Amino acid sequence: MKHQLKTKVLLFTSAVVALAAGMSANKKSEIETQVKRYYDLNVDSLNSSVQQMQQHLATGAGQASLQEDFKKARVYYKRIEAFVEYHLPESALKINGPNLVESEPSLPEEPILPTGFQVLEEVVYSEEPLDRQAAKMETDGLAFACNRAKVLGANIEFTETNILDALKLNLYRLITKGISGFDAPVALNSLPEAIASLEATQKLFNYFPQSGELLKITTAALQYLQEHQGDFDGFDRATFIADYINPLCVLVYDYQLAHKIPFAQAPNRAIPANIPHLFSPGAIDLSFYAPAGAELNSKELAALGKILFEDKRLSVANNRSCATCHIPSKAFTDGLALNESLVGGKKLMRNTPSLINAAYQPVQFSDSRITFLEDQVHAVIANPEEMGGKFEQIQSLLAKDKAFMKSYKAAFSGKKPGADEVKKALAAYVRTLSGFNSSFDRFMQGDKTAMTAEQLNGFNLFMGKAKCGTCHFMPTFTGAAPPYYEKMESEVLGVPQSNDTINPKMDLDSGKYHVYGMPHHLYSFKTATVRNAAVTAPYMHNGSLKTLRELIDFYNRGGGQGLGFELEHQTLPGDPLLLTEQEKKNIEAFIGALTDTVSYKKIQF
């Protein structure tokens, strides 16, 4: 009898659970249906608004009217940007990609011209009389791309997981690119567009049950934006991110946990879905930047790497180790413009970069020619000018060293050190040189006292008026483009040969051009990190700028074009930034807040 009762209770419980699960499944399906409807409606509106713009152009509308059409169409795009970027990345590129020429490596001389809003923006907002033919061409291209987002969008499979994942990635996009003016560089309509984006987020959160907390903080963020939307230069981005968007991201994270909505499985993504916010400790997955099978948690391997890092036997004449140029006490740089070449009594071609956070870059070297640290190690050791090491010779020298072999055997099971093991160990060591513990990081993690008023002002300038943040993306402050951080941007700046601003001459290092021979890559260099810049002078690929102030002045003038160089493909706007002395000081102070003092001390062992 007791047994029967137990069975009945069990059955009843199972039925309730099944019913609850069924209800939950229904609810989920309702959310997904609503989001799909939302997408369909807004992608239709986007298409209609672009078509309207085509009609207005055809009937002779003036520039002001077209600018209004342009703004309206962008607002519709911002409403669905999260999903277009997430599910249709190629369409996103065609609708709102940067205004930069690309090429396929197999056809380097055949330019793939950019399309979309950012190209159209330059035509519609041009200070010259409106080029109607160009406007028509770009609007037609935009209409084609928007239609593609509609046609392909019909097949998007929305789930609660991917809806929240896309929205969270879009919040990262908003704070790294949106409020910095990255995708509205001429119209400077970034803050009103940020409102459109957040309003869309709010509407979508509203489809989720018990999302009151999410809605509350989204509303507060919107209110903050609405109050300050008219002042792009003065907008307090630090407060907006730290007080509103980071907490909102944490709430999304908590919501998923509380409502048992699984986090998206994204093994091939630098920023995993299951992190509280973009600046959370360990937010970037180091394994994303390492080759398959790399050991990321072996202390023995990293310890062996440190020994090798300081071992001069890796060079041809046993007179140079990695640490000779990457000096730990100088934040793993050498403090020189250019170090000595081992061949021909000349200088090396490029400045020695810091190794702190090198492991968080999708590509290595100033010209971005290598992906993994293991291969970077090979290229430097084998380069006759840098180390000239011969791996066979290195292996035999190391195998005879009893002390070394003891450490070697702690890390590897093999009997003899091979080239592969040397590279793996060195890469493992460099991967330990990570530092995300600066005042800036502490501020973003909630310590409101971590940055001074000057530094905070500098950050807001960095992300706004001075436009630094449109290329040096948070949180790595490199050219790794958010929110996926997989593609490293490179820029044509027109770097001078020296810091002589009276008679400046352009540096003629062809940069990334030599990798594939693409014309638009001539003089193009990887966007290096700003983290630890206060302790890694001198700057640029040739070390020509000696101080942070010289660096800021260079950008303030408008890069190479501002110095008077004729540079067809300069990717930096050639206009002066018009920064005041105090603003320059503040930016310098902010860069100081990116010095990773805690980890840095730890790194020195």
Partner 1 sequence: MKLNIKMSVVIAFLLTKGYSAFTQEGKIDCAAHVFKTIPEALEYKDCATKLSMRVAKIERVSEQIGNLKAITYLDLKSNSLRELPASIGALSKLEQVIISENHLKSLPETIEGWQSVRFMQLDNNSLSDLPLGLFKLKKLNTLDLSWNNFASLNSRIGSLGQLKILDLNHNSLLVLPKEIGKLKALQEMDLSFNKLKAIPDEVIRMSSLKRLALANNELEQLPRNIGKLKKLKSIIVTNNKLTQLPESISALKELESIYLSYNQIGKLPAALYKMSHLRNLVLVGNPIPAAEVKALKQALPNTNIVF
Residues that bind partner 1 (CB under 8 A): 87-91, 104-106, 148, 152, 155, 157, 265, 267-268, 291-293, 369-372, 374-375, 378-379, 382, 418-420, 486, 515
- Looking at beta carbons only, is 105 or 345 nearer to partner 1? 105
Task: Judge contact between 578 and 564, C-beta under 8 A.
Answer: no
490-492/524-526 β-pairing: antiparallel
- Looking at beta carbons only, is 129 or 293 nearer to partner 1? 293
Taking the complex as a whole, how short is the minimal distance between the CB of residue 55 and partner 1, in angstroms? 26
Task: Judge contact between 215 and 205, C-beta under 8 A.
Answer: yes
List, in order, residues 6 or more apart from 394 with CB less than 8 Å away. Answer: 313, 314, 381, 419, 422
DSSP state, residue 174: I
Q: Tell me the residue type at 455.
A: Q
Taking the complex as a whole, how short is the minimal distance between the CB of residue 104 and partner 1, in angstroms? 8
Task: Judge contact between 553 and 541, C-beta under 8 A.
Answer: no
Structure tokens at 106: 């197999």
Taking the complex as a whole, how short is the minimal distance between the CB of residue 245 and partner 1, in angstroms? 26
Taking the complex as a whole, how short is the minimal distance between the CB of residue 408 and partner 1, in angstroms? 17
Taking the complex as a whole, how short is the minimal distance between the CB of residue 398 and partner 1, in angstroms? 17
Taking the complex as a whole, how short is the minimal distance between the CB of residue 431 and partner 1, in angstroms? 15
Which of 540, 560, 595 lies closest to 337, judged by CA?
540
H/E segment holding residue 551: helix 548-557
- Looking at beta carbons only, is 362 or 558 nearer to partner 1? 362
Structure tokens at 493: 């700046």
- Looking at beta carbons only, is 375 or 553 nearer to partner 1? 375
> Residue 15, exposed/middle/buried by CB under 10 A (0-12, 13-18, 19+)?
exposed
- Looking at beta carbons only, is 12 or 144 nearer to partner 1? 144
CA atoms within 13 A on the CB side of 303: 12
HEC states along 325-393?
Answer: HCEHHHCCECCCCCCECCCCCCECCCCCCCCCCHHHCCCECCCCCECCHHHHHHHHHHCCCCCCCCHHH
- Looking at beta carbons only, is 156 or 552 nearer to partner 1? 156
Q: Tell me the residue type at 412.
A: F
H/E segment holding residue 109: strand 107-112
- Looking at beta carbons only, is 155 or 413 nearer to partner 1? 155
Task: Judge contact between 372 and 426, C-beta under 8 A.
Answer: no
Which of 468, 463, 531, 540 lies closest to 498, judged by CA?
540
Taking the complex as a whole, how short is the minimal distance between the CB of residue 391 and partner 1, in angstroms? 9
Taking the complex as a whole, how short is the minimal distance between the CB of residue 379 and partner 1, in angstroms? 6
Taking the complex as a whole, how short is the minimal distance between the CB of residue 380 and partner 1, in angstroms? 11
Taking the complex as a whole, how short is the minimal distance between the CB of residue 144 and partner 1, in angstroms? 11
- Looking at beta carbons only, is 279 or 372 nearer to partner 1? 372
Which of 388, 394, 351 lies closest to 539, judged by CA?
351
- Looking at beta carbons only, is 148 or 228 nearer to partner 1? 148
- Looking at beta carbons only, is 155 or 210 nearer to partner 1? 155
Taking the complex as a whole, how short is the minimal distance between the CB of residue 159 and partner 1, in angstroms? 9
Task: Judge contact between 286 and 263, C-beta under 8 A.
Answer: no
Q: Can you say how many angstroms the Cα of residue 410 is from the centroid of all Cα atoms in its chain?
A: 37
Which of 522, 603, 599, 514 lies closest to 565, judged by CA?
522
110 vs 102: CA distance, rounded Å: 9
- Looking at beta carbons only, is 62 or 105 nearer to partner 1? 105
